[in-house]
Amino acid sequence: MRRIWTWGILICLSLPKAQAAEDIFPLSEVKPGMTATWRTVVRGNELKDFQLEILGTVPEGLGPGWSTIVGLATDPEMIQIGGVAGMSGSPVYIDGKLLGAYSYTYTWSKDQAFVGITPIEQMFKIVDAFDLGEQQGFQALSPFSVPSVSQTTTPVQDTSFVDWSPQPVPTPLSFGGISAQTLQTLQPEFAQVGWQAPVTTGMGASSEGQPDYSLDAGQPMAAVLMTGDFNAAATGTITWRDGERLLGFGHSFLGAGNVAVPLAGAEVLTIVSNQRLSFKLSKFGDIVGTIFQDRASGIAGRIGPKPPMTELNLRTRNAHGWRETYEAQLIQHPQWTSLLAATTVLETANSAMSAGERQTLYLHGQIYPEGMNSISFERVATGPSAGAMLARRLFAELYDFLDNPFEPVTLDRIDLSLEIVDSWQLSGLRSVNIYPEAPQPGDQVQVELKLLNYRGDERKLLVNLQIPPTADEGDTFAVVIADGEQLDRETSDGGGVPHSLEDIALSWSLERVPGRLYAALIKPTEGIGLEGAALPNLPPSVLQQLSEPNPSRLNRPVSQIVVDEKNFSLPGIFQGSYSAQLTIR
| Residue-wise DSSP of 493-520 | TT-----SHHHHHHHHHHSPPTT-EEEE
pLDDT at res. 535 = 52
Whether 514 and 470 have beta carbons less than 8 Å apart is answered as no
Q: What pLDDT shows up at residue 13?
A: 34
Cβ-contact 394, 367 below 8 angstroms: no
Cα(331)–Cα(334) distance, rounded to whole angstroms?
9
* Beta strands, E only, 273-395: 278-295, 298-303, 310-318, 323-330, 360-369, 375-382
The pTM for the full model equals 0.82
The per-residue pLDDT for 172 is: 79
Is residue 101 within 8 A of residue 88, CB to CB? The reply is yes
The confidence score (pLDDT) of residue 469 equals: 93
What's the mean pLDDT when you consider all of the chain?
A: 79
CA 510 – CA 508 distance, rounded (Å):
6
151 DSSP 8-state letter? G
What is the DSSP code (8-state) at residue 214? Answer: P
On whether the CB atoms of residues 126 and 117 are closer than 8 A, the answer is no
User: Residue 109's pLDDT is what?
Assistant: 52
pLDDT along the chain (585 residues), means of 10: 36 42 82 91 84 88 79 74 74 94 71 81 79 38 33 40 58 87 92 80 58 82 93 92 92 86 86 67 86 90 94 89 90 95 93 69 94 92 90 94 91 95 88 92 94 88 94 92 88 64 82 91 72 52 52 57 89 90 91
Q: CB 181: neighbour CB atoms within 10 A? A: 14
Q: How far apart, in whole angstroms, are the C-alpha atoms of residue 8 and residue 293?
A: 10
* DSSP 3-state of 8: helix
For the chain, give every domain's residue range. 1-158+167-308, 324-421, 426-583
pLDDT of 226? 95
384 contacts 306 by C-beta, under 8 angstroms = no
Distances (CA, A) of 263 to 226, 289, 380, 492: 11, 5, 36, 47
In CATH terms, is domain 324-421 a member of 3.40.50? Answer: no
